[in-house]
Amino acid sequence: MNVKKYLLERIAKGTIHFTLLDPDKQDVAQAGRIARRAEEAGTDAIMIGGSTDVTQKNLDETAKAIKNACKLPTIYFPSGADAISGNCDSIFFMSMVNSTDTGWIIGEQVKGSLIVKKLNLEPISMGYIIVEPGMKVGEVGKAMPIRRDDVKSAMSYALACEYLGMSFVYLEAGSGADRPVPPEMIRAVKEILSVPLIVGGGIRTPEAAKAARLAGADAVVTGTFVERCSDDSDLKNVIKAAKG
Ligand code: 1GP
């Protein structure tokens, strides 16, 4: 399966939803069960990753369990080159463009490129932009998070990513953020961008998912909410609101 093609075809029809599962947050059987429930609730693809404690072992096992539990494409959402799994279909080959550390901008990518090739993982290029509060990923990635009211910087970073040839741009408020990326920032970035825009961090209600979609997000990511949600109808409501 060509995952990028699959995503672009779905996005051409409307906003899509990504379920993000962190291998460090649950055991493998549970990861498989969540992926299956998310698939039944209408999610479009499973992203696998986390900012800390992703090991080759928990990544390999989680990716395999998810693959066995559902038919959706899987995309590795890496936190570095130390763990990369051939059990995923593809990898967001991404750069944290507002990091202050070249390691997160190009260093890990250089370490990982030959491994990605060897594993025959489909690389999907993505510009990753951290917005306040930024949370753990902003801290670990030594980001200079974009201020929530600094819409112009978000637009400049996003367009720079497109001009550098990245296929997707991701505005990230950070997992568990108390406030998602502001809709006015999503709207302004979407207006200037020709490549699909992914938005995530702190989205855990149908209202927040709908606000991101209406502002122009092409893909809405939920991680913490899906991992913690035990009620299938709550899960469906958030995914439905993201997709419209
Ligand atoms: C983090 O944007 C994702 O990379 C998901 O964030 O866990 O807050 O949904 P949440």
pLDDT tens digits, 171-184 = 999 999 999 999 99
Task: Report the alpha-carbon angle 239-243-244, nearest 5.
Answer: 110
Residue pair 131/154 in contact by the 8 Å Cβ criterion: yes
Q: Which atom of ligand 1 is nearest to the CA of 200?
A: 2
CB distance 200 to ligand 1 below 6 Å: yes
Separation CA 32–CA 181 (nearest Å): 29
Q: Which atom of ligand 1 is nearest to the CA of 202?
A: 8
CB distance 222 to ligand 1 below 6 Å: yes
Domain residue limits, the chain: 3-243
Q: How confident is the model at residue 51 (pLDDT cuts 50, 70, 90)?
A: confident
CB distance 172 to ligand 1 below 6 Å: yes
With 0.75 as the threshold, say if the pTM is over it.
yes
Q: How do residues 139-149 score in pLDDT, each as one tens digit?
A: 999 999 999 99
CATH code, residues 3-243: 3.20.20.390
Q: Take residue 216 and report the two structure tokens written for it.
A: 């122009």
Mean pLDDT for all residues in the chain: 97
Q: How do residues 198-218 score in pLDDT, each as one tens digit?
A: 999 999 999 999 999 999 999
- Residue 113 CA to ligand 1 center (angstroms) comes to 25
